[in-house]
Amino acid sequence: MSRIGKKPVELPSGVTASVSGQTVEVKGPKGTHSFTATDDVNIVLEDNTVTVSPRGSSKRALQQWGMSRTVVANLVTGVSTGFKKELEITGVGYRAQAQGNILKLNLGLSHEVNFPVPEGVTVTTPKPTEVIIEGTDLQLVGQVAANIREWRKPEPYKGKGIKYKGEFIFRKEGKKK
């Protein structure tokens, strides 16, 4: 039994949902998102809550049960409060600057990296060493953060690179004489 799948998804005030067949559409103050579930689960809307239950007891149905409930919960959170990822840039001369739809990164390479920000995500740089990624789609926000981080992952000796805020970088000791 899925512990996550059993929990109903509560709709906060200002958020409405509609279920038609296997498609759930959620509307809120930050926009509208929809999700189409597989035929292995039932989705029911009743009394301001969305409930997901499996059809049958096959392994696939039980896997889709928890995953579908989590996706619906992420849709509700996205349209009501949104998602946010914060990146920190560490290193001498490493900095970022948001200019419209482009994030300019100086990461010690021979050239400046121009990262195009996709539609549905906003990137801000309150400090030159801090990047904040916000949006209503959790998967898209996480993917953009991972793509930015991929340009210069933190290295274990000095910790230089791009890391998530609060991420622990395991440090190694350098050479000894």
| Residue spans per domain, the chain | 3-80, 83-164
> What are the pLDDT tens digits along the chain (177 aa)?
668 888 899 999 899 999 998 899 999 999 899 999 988 999 999 888 999 999 988 899 998 999 999 999 999 999 999 999 999 999 999 999 999 899 999 999 899 999 999 998 999 999 999 999 999 999 999 999 999 999 999 999 998 999 999 999 999 998 888
Query: Residue 1 has what pLDDT?
Result: 63
The CATH number for 83-164, chosen from 3.40.190.10, 3.90.930.12, 3.20.20.450, 3.40.50.1100, is 3.90.930.12
pTM of the model as a whole: 0.87
Output DSSP code: residue 55. Answer: S
Angle between helix 59-80 and 138-149 (nearest 10): 90
Read out DSSP for 74-139? HHHHHHHT-EEEEEEEESTT-EEEEETTEEEEE-SSSS-EEEEPPTTEEEE-SSTTEEEEEES-HH
* CA–CA distance, 7 with 54 (Å, rounded to integer): 13
The 10 Å CB-count burial string (b at 16+, else e) for 111-142 is eeeebebeeebebebeeeeebbbbbbbbebbe
Same fold, 3-80 and 83-164: yes
**What kind of fold does domain 3-80 have according to CATH?**
Outer Surface Protein A; domain 3 (3.90.930)
